Structure 1
Amino acid sequence: MRRHNLNDLLAFITVAREGSFTRAAAQLGVTQSALSQTVSGLEKRLKIRLLTRTTRSVSPTSAGERLMQTVGHRLDEIEFELDALTELSEKPAGTVRITCGDFVLRTLLLPRLAPVLLEYPDIKVEFDINYGFRDIVADRFDAGIRFGATVDKDMIAVPIGSTVRMAAVAAKAYLARHAAPKKPQDLLQHACIDIRFPTLGGTDAWEFEKRGRKVNVRVAGQVVFNTSAHVPAAALSGLGIAYLPEEEFAPHIESGDLVRVLEDWCPTFSGYHLYYPSRRLPTPAFSLVLNALRSEVFC
């Protein structure tokens, strides 16, 4: 049986996933012309075109798509297994890729991981700030951070923080112009500061609960963000009512600049979890990151 060069397959998979010879060449550490020749050689041997090339983009053909689906994940598994062999090394090294939100990165991940990175200079951590529900296997992340209730059941989920309570808040100036809502449905009469989640393609309903009764309200307003980072500032400016985990508003609530509303309707739920594929063999670098994040779990 004729054997194919795995490097050729890796070259094709990387170009197809990146949608660019330039980015793929940078990732693989080769020149763009060499990469183009490698992929062309693979197409010539297979006697079928795998990529459609234009001046602006590169995309897989139907044959290329089929090859990606059947071979891509197998190459990933080989790479994972080879990474696991670094356990034989006395010096943990390598890159750990984590997708997460900006608030949890700033307040939880960086403070806990900084000592690890200082102690092990050969470990690198790459953070992807993203509010979409990324497929960490397909997108080649080592782990992701989400609230516990949203983690897929086929993942290993490790709690890395305490339970979270939601908070609906507004600036005093806003509440001076508008009567505070008494029940969640009253939000339909208010300007609300919302977040558009990439995976959903739109904004999500705000979820409230009181004595077992759950109410979802789809709010509207003048301002929508794609992350939570600027929501407190918008609320402080009097642009409307905002709804996030209360810790994101904590300094402003304590100072009195933001006032809680609907407090008896704001639910509590499981906090941040680090999740990763159950079948993955952890590298020493990933194990150190995991231990650092779960070593200070709040009770």
Structure 2
Amino acid sequence: MKQNFTVRHGALDGVEAFLSVARHRNFRKAAAELAVTPSAISQAVRALEARIGAALFIRTTRSVGLTEAGERFLSRAGPAFEELIAASDVAREFGKRPTGLLRLSVPPAVMPILLEPLIASFCQAYPEIELEIVASGELVDLATGGFDAGIRLGELVAADMVAVRLTPPFPLVVAGSPDYLRQRKRPERIEDLRGHACLRMRRSNGSVAPWRFADGNKTVEAIVAGPLIAHDYPTLLGAAIQGLGLAQVPGPLAGASIADGRLQALLTPFAVSSPGAFLYYPERRQVLPKLRAFIDHVRLHSGGDPARKRMGKRRSPEPGAAKAADG
């Protein structure tokens, strides 16, 4: 038969009073220790005895002693209560200072442009925090995955999340290598992509993402084709540098390659803007000092906009609008 392991409501009521009386063998001294009246101590002990169904103390006008039931209860309840106090103290430390394991779910594209330059300085600034970064393109459930927070592009953050801006908005850039563009006519219009090898991204839901562009005040989705489908932007960027085709990637990720001539930016008049990268988590009250320290450190060193913004005010076809916060 299945046993019921549920702790009854109020099962711990009166235990602290009992332990104090047992320690002092005196109700008045126990009351003074706990800063309550002797009457309150007496009532708490009597209520505990009534729930247990046995007398715990032998009381006379001159002394207080333990019954056999009281001795047995003391031998088990004393260490257990001390362990509860110790557990509370340990947990309380996590709410006072930056310490413990900080687990983040981060897309691979964010690593080189946002986190890699900051990991060493963060770990040095907060030696009591263990930083674990799980680089994955999957949109994980933070709670079931055991994550403190995640980092995603703004259009991918769910509406019920608190979102903290880490970067300014940036364009999605179409780029190709000089070698590739010597073999193909440079695209001047969105329709010109039909004659090009376009490297594509597969979303976490299994669909292949279309390329997005801004045509006046409208966002246009272009269905493109090409020789490679990847699950992350760095792979697409590397393939474009090697001349395999054109890639549409976040501007900050392609910036260095465009600056040094390995890639050329294309269709820039039609570039659509992404809201930028956001750190997100379920509720404000769940922000422990370890996560607060990380948010502040990334903002300080990345130049992220700390202003409070509504993510619903964005130019994106993706559904959902997260609660924005400045942390």
* 1:35-184 paired onto structure 2 within 5 Å: 85-87=92-94, 92-184=98-190
Matched residue, 1:230: 235
Aligned in 2, Cα 1:95/1:211: closer, same or farther, shift over 3 Å?
same
TM-score (normalizing by structure 1): 0.67
- Rounded to whole Å, the distance in 2 between the matches of 1:251 and 1:282 is 34
Secondary structure in 1 matching 2:145: coil
Question: What displacement does 1:262 show?
Answer: 1.0
- How far residue 293 of structure 1 moved from its aligned partner, in angstroms, is 2.0
User: What's the counterpart of residue 17 of structure 1?
Assistant: none
AA in 2 matched with 1:85: R
Map 1:3-14 onto structure 2 (within 5 A). 3-4=4-5
Write the distance in 2 (CA, Å) between the matches of 1:281 and 1:82: 18
Partner in structure 2 of residue 291 of structure 1: 296
Distance in 1 between residues matched to 2:143 and 2:89, nearest whole Å: 16
| In structure 2, distance between residues paired with 1:277 and 1:161 | 20
Aligned length: 223
Give how far 1:151 is off.
1.2
Structure 1 residues without counterparts, runs of 5 or longer: 7-80
**What secondary structure sits across from 1:114 in the alignment?**
helix
Partner of 2:209: 204
Over 3 Å counting, the alpha-carbon distance change for 1:113 and 1:292 in structure 2 is farther
Return the alpha-carbon distance in structure 2 between the equivalents of residues 3 and 246 of structure 1. 57
Identity of aligned residues (%): 28
RMSD between aligned residues: 2.6
The answer to whether the Cα contact below 8 Å between 2:113 and 2:252 also exists between their aligned partners in 1 is no
CA deviation string 1:120-163 (max 9, x = no partner): 32211111111122221222211111122321121110001121
From the CA coordinates, give the structure whose radius of gyration is larger.
2
Equivalent residues of 2:100, 2:129 under 8 A apart: yes
- TM-score in terms of structure 2 length: 0.62
Distance 2:215 2:206 in 1: 29
Aligned-partner Cα distance in 2 for 1:178–1:83: 64
Residues 218-255 of structure 1: CA deviation (Å, up to 9, x unaligned): 22211122212222221122211111012212122112
* Structure 1 residues 88 and 252: alpha-carbon distance in aligned structure 2, compared to 1, 3 A threshold: closer
- In the TM superposition, what is the alpha-carbon distance from 1:209 to its structure 2 partner? 0.5
